[in-house]
Amino acid sequence: MLTWEEDTKHALSSHSNNGLPTNRLAEVPTQFSAATAAISSVAAQPISVQAAAQKLVASVPPTHQRIKAADKRIINGKTDVNQLVPFKYKWAWEKYLATCANHWMPQEVNMTRDIALWKSPNGLTEDERRLVKRNLGFFVTADSLAANNIVLGTYRHITAPECRQFLLRQAFEEAIHTHAYQYITESLGLDEAEIFNAYNEIQSIRDKDQFLIPFIEAISDPLFKTGTHEADQTLLKSLIAFACLMEGLFFYVGFTQILALGRQNKMTGAAEQYQYILRDESMHCNFGIDLINQLKLENPGLWTPEFKAEIVAMFHQAVELEYRYAEDTMPRGVLGMNASMFKGYLRYIANRRATQIGLETLFPNEENPFPWMSEMIDLKKERNFFETRVIEYQSGGALSWD
């Protein structure tokens, strides 16, 4: 919860609504309290007395100072969160603009070929069908968890307006992703109860969600507020869990599997949407890492040896959970891949995420077994992996798998 110094009792007190900060423009500056009291005491007096009281108010010099960019902070800031400019964190604003330029909607994607393939008895193998349903079962609730973490937790505690702007866009994109998975599920005529309850009924999916939920609950608790060493570390840990481990690790088995189908000209409509989602999530991950590093820079005391050891343990646990999920989704080799290949891939990704936030390499000598995924993830205004159209900074409708 955003907090500011409250050592002054205002005549008109400032309250917060469910942990959300009120607009401090409505607060009564200290030097006005005496004048306010004076007006109250003479409210029933003759007009001449009231005029004198009003003159007293007018004589109080204004003390409002315009915000300086240098005074902004990622957390525990005391500048007005409602004033976007002047910019301090221009990287956040630029990422916000980039995500807006990437806007897309699921219904723009034609699912006709996917529907025909799914309905054909020989269109997909049973292993491929299992893979698709497990993917949807995880993702339909995963993005809802990510959105809840933003709107119920992270957003309340970040005091940099530029970063809040990105978080609002990110939450909207998480909703679009949930919409996409629902659109695929409905288009294929899948059992919606089976897909949407997978996070309760499939152990490998449930284990990942149970790993994440405590990090949401910790910062969405109405009684939680930053401003102490322990609380600030709790927020930092939650940011790492979602940026580095959820969006930066837990999503990549699913992305790789569905995009591998697309590379074989199967489920191309679903694969197209997954490529848009991969593009969005890559931006979310990069923003989250920048946010983490900026928070560390402004609060170096949080990054203690003991805290780093906790984060390393979280990384190891996340890699193991995602590997179990890979084993569950593909118990046998499929699409030229197997679960063992994903063990190396997950360790490779974990190394990247760890070093991006200032940790040591966790798994030495790991290489990427899926170099084609790196080409997709690292795409920078280049050709689409499958076609010749620019896809990074334009509307989603330009992406084609034909």
Cα gap 143→251, rounded to integer Å? 10
Closest CA to 174 of 157, 154, 193, 191: 154
Cα gap 308→323, rounded to integer Å? 23
Cα gap 321→300, rounded to integer Å? 30
367 to each of 121, 241, 245, 351, 372, how far by Cα in Å?
Answer: 38, 23, 19, 10, 13
Closest CA to 142 of 99, 182, 85: 182
Cα gap 202→193, rounded to integer Å? 13
Cα gap 315→363, rounded to integer Å? 11
183, 252, 323, 345: the active-site residue:
183
Closest CA to 237 of 289, 297, 311, 182: 311
183 is catalytic: yes
Angle (deg, nearest 10), helices 268-298 and 339-356: 30
Annotated catalytic residues are: 183
